[in-house]
Amino acid sequence: MAAHAIQPLSNLTTSAIGLVLLTAGHLRGWPIPKGGSGQIAQALATYFQSLGGKIETNFYVESLQQLPSSHAVLFDITPRQLLKIAGHTFSPLYRWQLERYRYGMGIFKIDWALDAPIPFTDENCRNAGTLHLGNTLQEITDTEKLSSQGGYPEKPFVLLAQQSQYDPSRAPEGKHTAWAYCHVPNGSTRDRTEAIENQVERFAPGFKDRILARHVMNTAQVQEHNPNYIGGDINGGILDITQLFTRPALRFSPYRTSTKGLYICSSSTPPGGGRTWHVRLSCGPQGLTGRIPDSGKSDANSLSVSIGRGSVPENRCLSLL
Ligand SMILES: Cc1cc2nc3c(=O)[nH]c(=O)nc-3n(C[C@H](O)[C@H](O)[C@H](O)COP(=O)(O)OP(=O)(O)OC[C@H]3O[C@@H](n4cnc5c(N)ncnc54)[C@H](O)[C@@H]3O)c2cc1C
């Protein structure tokens, strides 16, 4: 589970990340949203709109001039984009800190359409929603170390989800879907399809015969799909000991930038990557309706929010990018 941290297992923070994920699993399992994780964003958006919030999408923000005048702008992006958009307004120290922010390993991802469930030999694996395929601890330790050093293990640690086992809306009746990824060096364009599929076949003989179609993404395509995934890093920056609590920079409040009214609230801030715990904590303990420091009041009726590729909200109180 600690290998979910996307860094060598010898790094100090990996056991903490493993513990959080295990605890979440023991408490509530790892739930699968019906219809896909986009439904969670949709539910949040619907609630936000019910409070009077306004959302605009499909707009890629490249400069502050594109945003309306606001008491506060919350950026759900990583330091690299933030520097491009607002770097000229930051103090030299804060800019220097953001420029030194480090990104971690990327992912190579495959989505499959299958004509039957994955035939894992082990019954527990057949029934699991999410699987970590790595065989022994030593094998996982070695492969994650090699990937973090720029190498490509023959038998990579593979994270696999088979949601259609529990959510029939994911595939036509009798058919199935699954996705998997392995960790690769940041920015890698190497095709890892064969290595990932061999690893699944190793624990589920006959798997390859069930593949109807596949869609693959290397790290460049992962970043094209979501500009927050710099070099394929889905954690918004490596979560090692020097960047776990001090992301994106060592400051009293990591969410406040050096420019009044500009905030960063993405996975590049504590507690780091992962949508599971991210939304509420990174917006502050009071969540979206809470008071934003030095921004004046921020009641829900005056919020504007952008999800996905940006927004140009008309009302003036708070913009969320
Ligand atoms: C395949 C996969 C599986 C995962 N599984 C899990 C899991 O099981 N559990 C878990 O907790 N986490 C998981 N994660 C990680 C999790 O999704 C991310 O860590 C989390 O979504 C990051 O949140 P964020 O708010 O920083 O950014 P995001 O959720 O990526 O949101 C940022 C948004 O801003 C948009 N954007 C970026 N730049 C701009 C710009 N300049 N203008 C306008 N819009 C912009 C992006 O397009 C994106 O829509 C997974 C990720 C992937 C890819």
- At residue 315, the pLDDT reads 28
- Ligand 1 pocket mutation pick from 37, 223, 309, 319 by most atoms within 8 angstroms of CB: 309
Going by their DSSP bridges, the two strands 303-305 and 211-217 should be labelled as unpaired
Nearest CA to ligand 1 atom 32: 76
Percentage of the chain beyond pLDDT 70 is 85
In this structure, the residue with its CA closest to atom 2 of ligand 1 is 234
The position carrying tokens 């490596």 is 238
Torsion angle of C-alpha atoms 145, 150, 155, 161, degrees rounded to 10: 90
pLDDT exceeds cutoff 80 at 35: yes
Residue nearest (by alpha carbon) to ligand 1 atom 25:
266
- Please determine, for residue 277, whether its predicted confidence score (pLDDT) is greater than 90: no
Mean pLDDT of 255-271: 96
| pLDDT at residue 190 tops 50 | yes
Distances from the Cα of 110 to the Cα of 31, 155, 192, 214, 224, angstroms: 21, 16, 9, 7, 15
| Residue ranges of the chain assigned to CATH 3.30.519 | 105-226
pLDDT greater than 60 at residue 83: yes
With the CA atoms of 133, 134, 135 and 140 taken in that order, what torsion angle do they form, in degrees rounded to the nearest 10?
-160
Question: Is residue 52 classed as helix, strand or coil in its secondary structure?
Answer: coil
pLDDT band for position 29 (cuts 50, 70, 90): confident
pLDDT on residue 284: 41
* Ranges of H-type helices in 100-153: 123-127, 137-148
**More confident: 307 or 109:** 109
CATH number of 105-226: 3.30.519
Report the predicted TM-score, pTM, of the whole model to 2 decimal places. 0.88
Best mutation site among 4, 39, 75, 77 for ligand 1 pocket (most ligand atoms within 8 Å of CB): 77
